[in-house]
Amino acid sequence: MPEGDTVLQTAARLHQALAGRVLTRSDLRVPRFATADLTGRTVLDVTARGKHLLTRVEGGLTLHSHLRMDGAWRVFAPDEPWRGGPGHQIRAILANAEHTAVGYRLPVLELLRTSEESRAVGHLGPDPLGPDWDPGLALDRLLAAPERPVGDALLDQRNLTGIGNVYKCELCFLARVTPWLPVGALPDGVLTRLVTLTERLLHANRDRPARTTTIASELRTPPSPAPDAAAPGRPRARPPVRVQERLFVYGRARRPCLRCGAPIRSADQDGRPTYWCPGCQSGPTP
């Protein structure tokens, strides 16, 4: 599922293509709004709110969309062939004289009054990439359920918005705790560090075409070496962080940890594949 940084990039592309221009074509291919016509209206802006996209249009209207697992918005030049999937997967078309934005496989698409956007996004917590970012509020919301596993708490968009499964795994690795450790059992200062890292990583990746978490400066100093089982008392060699590696644990099951060399493990957490390093991260595991 696209996470906050990816959705922000999508919003930027749509804003560049549509904002300030009059729509010459409008086609919303969902039953409830199939007769709605935005043609002749000027697009005012396209904004990301966590994982949600808000396309605001002249006349006090907002087109709200969410990509979820495999939705996508593509932008094309007037004579460019559309690529993104078969025609029956198109859910929205917004075009002006210079660009056409096509929404594929959008599971959420609704037209609402701009004054009522809170119906769609009012439940969300503070956005690390938004003007409403409030780390204190994010901390308070995470601490409201101390018995909850930290991985679940990070994914709850009501606590703070924009984190998905990739960042959940990477943030827990950076904090050196497993995603199954209850929030209330986190060592002193770790939850504050998690919130700070969330903002840092999302901002660092907001303009990157390929996400990376190996930019975290904390990881330039490896932890104390673990003993090598084959050679008691001798430190195990620490593998260097390779340039081509962008993520520390996500998607790297059975491969060596970039920090300690232990094989990365994986298991489901609430139906989501979750990755962690048994050598670097402490806490309960399945």
Residues recognised as catalytic: 2-3, 51, 272
78 CB-near residues (< 8 Å, 6+ apart) = 97, 98, 99, 100
- The Cα–Cα gap between 134 and 161 comes to 11
- The Cα–Cα gap between 126 and 141 comes to 10
- The Cα–Cα gap between 73 and 192 comes to 35
Rg of the chain over all Cα atoms, to the nearest angstrom = 22
Q: Cβ distance 155 to 166 under 8 Å?
A: no
45 CB-near residues (< 8 Å, 6+ apart) = 15, 19, 55, 56
Q: Cβ distance 63 to 111 under 8 Å?
A: yes
Q: Cβ distance 182 to 146 under 8 Å?
A: yes
Q: Cβ distance 120 to 64 under 8 Å?
A: yes
- The Cα–Cα gap between 87 and 89 comes to 5
Residue with tokens 């903002």: 199
